[in-house]
Amino acid sequence: MSDLTIITTSDGSHSLFNPLLNETYHSVHGAIQESQHVFIQQGLKYWLAHNPSKDIRILEIGFGTGLNAFLTLLDLQNSGYRIYYESWEAFPLPIDLAVQLNYPIQLGAIDVFAQLHQSEWNAFVSITPEFILYKRLGDILKDPLPGADSFDLIYYDAFAPSKQPQLWTFDVLKKVVDAMSPAGVWVTYCAKGQLKRDLKSLGLTVETLTGPPGKKEMVRALR
Ligand SMILES: C[S@@+](CC[C@H](N)C(=O)[O-])C[C@H]1O[C@@H](n2cnc3c(N)ncnc32)[C@H](O)[C@@H]1O
């Protein structure tokens, strides 16, 4: 992962380019815009609007730059919500690269962003009194997830199926769906037909929504 380079996307926010996969971590049309639309607006806000609970358990596949965790924390700061945020990552970024990302310049809270990256792996860390982060250093293809009713909201942010098809197989999707709560919500930037068919076969109600700028569609699926 040391060949990763920082790129600037169309909204001015950084992303990373992975030359081995010839793939970026976010949409080149805007990293913050994409995360904000797919994960925060259509995922987090949707769940909050449909659930009275003040506790939310989020599972992210692919911690990467930490952008989704950062946006989630900022969005719910001082809201009265308590957040458990578990994020899986098989190939963590070097910290010196992560802290060069311009998200805190664009969004504020420099210390919090650094903390997200500097916090220990495989440990429960209170980033703020309301936001518990568990960065799981692990491979979602091999390691077991916690059992049923473990997560309310899934941020499925793996590399695209064309680059890492193994992360989008029925079996991997099933493993994640099995860990969802009965009112669970799943969001991803991907809107491939096979993904939608698989999520339907797993019993979810699948919605195709307008994507972020530069992308036609995205998927939200409900248990
Ligand atoms: C599209 S990037 C997005 C990451 C992150 N959500 C972000 O906003 O930067 C996909 C991430 O999945 C991670 N990944 C790839 N294979 C994985 C695996 N088998 N298990 C867990 N994470 C994996 C990559 O290292 C990368 O950080």
| 176 Cα–ligand 1 center, Å | 15
Which atom of ligand 1 is least distant from the CA of 158? 10
Residue 14 domain-assigned?
no
Instruction: List pocket residues of ligand 1, CB cut-off 6 Å.
Output: 25, 62-65, 67-68, 88-91, 139-141, 157-159, 167
Residue 2 confidence (pLDDT): 59
Which atom of ligand 1 is least distant from the CA of 35? 8
Which atom of ligand 1 is least distant from the CA of 26? 1
Residue 90 confidence (pLDDT): 98
| 89 Cα–ligand 1 center, Å | 6
Residue 201 domain-assigned?
yes
Residue 171 confidence (pLDDT): 98
Residue 9 domain-assigned?
no
Residue 1 domain-assigned?
no
Residue 75 domain-assigned?
yes
Residue 87 is part of a domain; what is its CATH number? 3.40.50.150
Residue 74 confidence (pLDDT): 98
7's enclosing H/E stretch is: strand 5-8
50's enclosing H/E stretch is: helix 45-50
Residue 168 domain-assigned?
yes
Residue 126 confidence (pLDDT): 98
Per-residue pLDDT of 78-92, as tens digits, reads: 999 999 999 999 999
Residue 154 domain-assigned?
yes
Ligand 1 atom 5: the closest Cα is on which residue?
Answer: 64
Residue 176 domain-assigned?
yes
| 87 Cα–ligand 1 center, Å | 9
Residue with tokens 């992210």: 60
Per-residue pLDDT of 185-219, as tens digits, reads: 999 999 999 999 999 999 999 999 999 999 999 99
69 is in which domain, residue-wise? 30-222
Is the pLDDT score of 1 beyond 60? Answer: no
Per-residue pLDDT of 18-58, as tens digits, reads: 999 999 999 999 999 999 999 999 999 999 999 999 999 99
N residues, the chain: 223
| 90 Cα–ligand 1 center, Å | 7
| Cα dihedral: 188, 192, 193, 194 (round 10) | -80
User: What's the number of domains the chain is made of?
Assistant: 1
Per-residue pLDDT of 113-162, as tens digits, reads: 999 999 999 999 999 999 999 999 999 999 999 989 999 999 999 999 99
Residue 98 confidence (pLDDT): 97
Query: Which are the contacts of 146, defined by CB distance < 8 A and separation ≥ 6?
Result: 179
Helices of type H across 59-192: 67-76, 95-98, 103-107, 110-118, 170-178
Ligand 1 atom 20: the closest Cα is on which residue?
Answer: 139
Per-residue pLDDT of 157-181, as tens digits, reads: 999 999 999 999 999 999 999 999 9
